[in-house]
Amino acid sequence: MNDEYFHRTIEKKMPFFASPEASKSRKKVILLFGARQTGKSTLLKRWMAISGGKTKYLNLQNREERRRYEADEGLLVRELEADQDLRNVVIDEIQKVPSLLEDVQHVYDSNPNALQFFITGSSARQLKRGSANLLPGRVHTYHLSPVIQAEQRRVEILPFSDEPPSDCKIFPQRRLEDMLLYGSLPGLFHETSDSWAQTLASYVDLYIENEIRQESIVHDMGAFLRFLRLAALESGQSVNYTKLSSEVGVAPNTLRNFYQVLEDSYLGARVNAFGRSRKRVLTAPRFLIFDIGVRNMLTGLPFNEALLQLDPGHLFEQWVMTELYHRCRYHGNGFRLSTWKTATGAEVDAVVETPQDIIPVEIKWTKSPSIQDARHIRTFLELHRGMAKHGYLVCRCPNRQKLDDQITAIPWNEF
């Protein structure tokens, strides 16, 4: 195990990492959401190490600590008001005791400058179910993903300009095959490869047990487990609710609820159809499992190198799309990932929308790209003149290639 800290791109979006004192003048509560084991707690520890001042840390994953605050309403307020030296309050996994948000609001409204609150959560569903007070007007909200390629090397599509501080490093680069099989949960970068499969298996078990079964999120666990496997197998494909509901054995509305469970727990992401097309397009969304390694474990297929040989193109496409989805989310408002498919069969795997541009991206497993591989990008560019000026073909070519004046083939480790 290695305890060194690797820089996270999200720190660029959180100015107080560069200047802890500046954060106190912003008068905002920080909410950090993300799936389990994406590094939220590690980011909290990093914050506590650089912030200065006394910090109160509540770990609501700890059953004993959680029960203290569940059993005694107002306990947190009394503790915070009694400690005049306190400067920072960190609450980890707020969905376990959503009522504490009322206490946070009470203390915050009493004196917005007194304390810096930093709160994490891995399930928006628990907060919704409890009609939790999400502190409107008082918060800045962020989302943390697994490790993205932009945290390992320079990228071209939606790049980030931040450099890591001198006291931390960037995540080490890994083979494409390792990323397509094991994914990019940050904990894997602190382990040797022989433990990666077991870590992912434990992740899936803990998700099902802690997020689903213990919280009674679904009433029919058998149906949900069947759905979970099929959703993983279908990850990256257009969702066919009628077909899947028949295979799972539940009504289409129940299936939609199951997908919502994945979104609310940040295990899945919906990619909607491109909404500004000048041609009739199919509107069925695609659905992605948030990390390709977790997806592979959820499928129930043999977890070894043979999995890559079954359908490498499908895994590669999912990985690129998931990477682009997380980059869009980090960049914030005005950035989104969509997909494009016409009724006549033209299809572009990913469309990256920014405030300034629209970028069609085709994804191919090939090492020898040709303009024929990018023909649907050409169609998209012609239909959306003025909105889209350039497109990319992401593949396994060793070097960049100019396929025509508007389309570039780019290696997987540069896109």
Residue located via tokens 């399930």: 123
3-state SS, residue 88 = strand
Fold of the 9-144 domain: Rossmann fold (3.40.50)
Minimum mean pLDDT range among 30-34, 215-219, 266-270 = 215-219
CB within 8 Å of 304: residues ≥ 6 apart = none
> What is the residue extent of each domain of the chain?
9-144, 146-415
Q: What is the pLDDT of residue 15?
A: 63
Given a cut of 80, is residue 214 above it in pLDDT?
no
User: In which band, very low, low, confident or very high, does the pLDDT at 274 lie, cut at 50, 70 and 90?
Assistant: very high
Instruction: Kindly report the average pLDDT of the chain as a whole number.
Output: 90
Instruction: Say what the alpha-carbon torsion angle 134, 136, 140, 143 is, to the nearest 10 degrees.
Output: 40
Query: CB atoms < 10 A from the CB of 372, how many?
Result: 8
Given a cut of 80, is residue 212 above it in pLDDT?
no
SS (H, E, C) 324-371: HHHHHHHHCCCCEEEEEEECCCCEEEEEEECCCCEEEEEECCCCCCCH
Tens-place pLDDT, residues 65-93: 999 999 999 999 999 999 999 999 999 99
CB within 8 Å of 360: residues ≥ 6 apart = 340, 348, 350, 351, 376, 377, 380, 381, 388, 391, 392
Q: What is the pLDDT of residue 1?
A: 40
Q: What is the pLDDT of residue 25?
A: 45
Given a cut of 50, is residue 180 above it in pLDDT?
yes
Q: Which two tokens stand for residue 408?
A: 């570039």
Asked if residue 369 lies in contact with residue 401, where contact means CB atoms within 8 angstroms, the answer is: yes
Tens-place pLDDT, residues 128-137: 765 566 777 8
Q: Which two tokens stand for residue 223?
A: 């149906």
- Cα separation, 87 vs 80, in Å, equals 10
Q: Is 351 left (phi over 0), alpha (psi -120 to 50) or beta?
A: beta
- Cα separation, 13 vs 11, in Å, equals 5
